[in-house]
Amino acid sequence: MKILVTGAKGFIGKNLVAELRNQNYTYILEYGKDTDPNLLDEYCREANFVFHLAGVNRPKDQSEYMDGNYGFTSILLNTLRKHQNTCPIMVSSSIQAGLDNPYGISKKASEDLLFNYGKETGAKVLIYRLPNVFGKWCRPNYNSAIATFCHNIAHNLTITVNDPSVKMNLVYIDDVIEELTRALNGNQTTVGEFCEVPVAYQSTLGEIVDLIYSFKKSRKDRSIPNMADSFSKKLYSTYLSYLPEEQFSYELKMNIDNRGSFTEFIKTPDRGQVSVNISKPGITKGNHWHHTKNEKFLVVSGTGVIRFRKIDTEEVIEYFVSGEKLEVVDIPTGYTHNIENLGNTDMVTIMWANEQFDPERPDTFYLEV
């Protein structure tokens, strides 16, 4: 199959082409503003499916809206007609096509052109009125508030929010691409005469900005957002894609003493926290128990023993652990426990706790095993 993608170097086009390659489509005819215009004739002759993503959304002069959107769409369709190529054609329109502004008017004119083309030729026409699309590779400080917020906040630049209560209708780029690949296979999502991306979100500008600032702060307080919330998860992925390349890493606070170190790695609002514990040879750590807090220990380097004793008994239970055989040891409530390094090198243990450490309510009581 040969797939023509107009606007191939744009935000949606770049993501689509990357995914088509992931799915082993080898004949992708990429057409952009820098492509030799003469290639359009060849591409329209050979294409088995057209993704028409090219368009103008921020011209120097408003007349360019009609030329770039309606005008190029007309050229594309006439070239397909010339070769009697009635392959399916998908078009990225906008929710603004229903508004009375130059951009919306040009998009609506393009839609009408496509519908008439479909009736005339019998070609399958798929029109998506996309809301605001967000995700990686979107150009900041251009026409996307999300891209601008993510980029500027990540780079310590100012942002402007005139009205935090303004609501935005949003779709995530990966959800858009998933829908477009479904359309390629004839399984598009249709609502009336239009197609749509099934997964959409609505949020205010203020809520979005607050979330992005919380992502920036999370690198300092070692937290990550609630990944159970689909919008937060996708916005967080988008934010990370705008990090300055020299700032991909960030330091953690290591609590170091003569026994080794203890470092908090990740804190979550609802899934507890993960820490890294390093014990020197011969060192024993722990000797405490918890009412409700529970933990999981995973020794990833070195050898040692984890001991347990129910607080009202004398029996000691031992689990010998090693980085040579990865196994998780649960730390139940009501058992005092410790971990001893039995080797000649540092022992490294990944520790998960079901809640973040609260110094006001540590739920940790000293008692020798």
Instruction: Show the domains of the chain with their CATH numbers.
Output: 2-142+158-203 (3.40.50.720), 254-366 (2.60.120.10)
Taking 70 as the threshold, does the pLDDT of residue 67 lie above it? Answer: no
Mean of pLDDT values over 237-253 = 96
**pLDDT greater than 70 at residue 65:** no
Q: Phi and psi (nearest 5°) for 32? A: -135, -175
Q: Which of 100-104, 148-152, 224-228 has the highest mean pLDDT?
A: 148-152
pLDDT band at 69 (very low <50, low <70, confident <90, very high): confident
Specify whether the CB–CB gap between 155 and 244 falls below 8 A: yes
In this predicted structure, what is the pLDDT of residue 107?
81
Three-state DSSP state, 67: helix
Confidence band of 40 (pLDDT split at 50, 70, 90)? very high
DSSP, collapsed to helix, strand or coil, labels residue 328 as strand
| Range of weakest confidence among 55-59, 148-152, 191-195, 308-312 | 55-59
Say if CB 140 and CB 146 are below 8 A apart. Answer: no
Res. 59: pLDDT tops 70: no
CB distance 173 to 106 below 8 Å:
no
What lies within 8 Å, CB to CB, of 269 at 6+ separation is 223, 225, 226
pLDDT of residue 116: 95
Taking 60 as the threshold, does the pLDDT of residue 57 lie above it?
A: no
Alpha-carbon distance of 369 to 364, in angstroms, equals 14
Q: Provide the mean pLDDT of the chain.
A: 94
pLDDT exceeds 90 at position 252: yes
CA–CA separation, 49 vs 322, rounded Å?
56
For residue 63, pLDDT beyond 80: no
Q: Point out the residues that are catalytic.
A: 103
Q: Which of 46-60, 107-121, 249-263 has the highest mean pLDDT?
A: 249-263
Cα–Cα distance measured from residue 84 to residue 13, given in angstroms and rounded to the nearest whole number: 25
Lowest-pLDDT range of 57-71, 319-333, 349-363 = 57-71
Interatomic CA distance for residues 208 and 102, integer angstroms: 28
Arithmetic mean of pLDDT, 176-199: 96
% residues pLDDT > 90 (the chain): 86
pTM value is 0.90
Q: List the structure tokens of 125.
A: 């026409």
Sheet with 284-289, edge to edge strand ranges: 317-322, 303-310, 335-341, 284-289, 365-366
* pLDDT band per the 50, 70, 90 thresholds, residue 68: low
Per-residue pLDDT, 257? 97
User: 145: closest CA among 155, 158, 159, 157?
Assistant: 159
Q: Are 293 and 337 in contact (CB under 8 A)?
A: no
Alpha carbon distance 29, 6 (integer Å): 8
Q: How far apart are CA 68 and CA 79, in angstroms?
A: 16
**Neighbouring-strand partners of residue 194:** 191
- Under the banding of pLDDT at 50, 70 and 90, the label for residue 60 is low
CB 98 within 8 A of CB 104: yes
Distance CA 364, CA 277 (A): 17
Q: Where residue 70 falls among pLDDT bands split at 50, 70, 90? A: confident
Neighbours of 276 (CB within 10 A): 16
Q: For the residues 83-97, what does the mean pLDDT come to?
A: 92
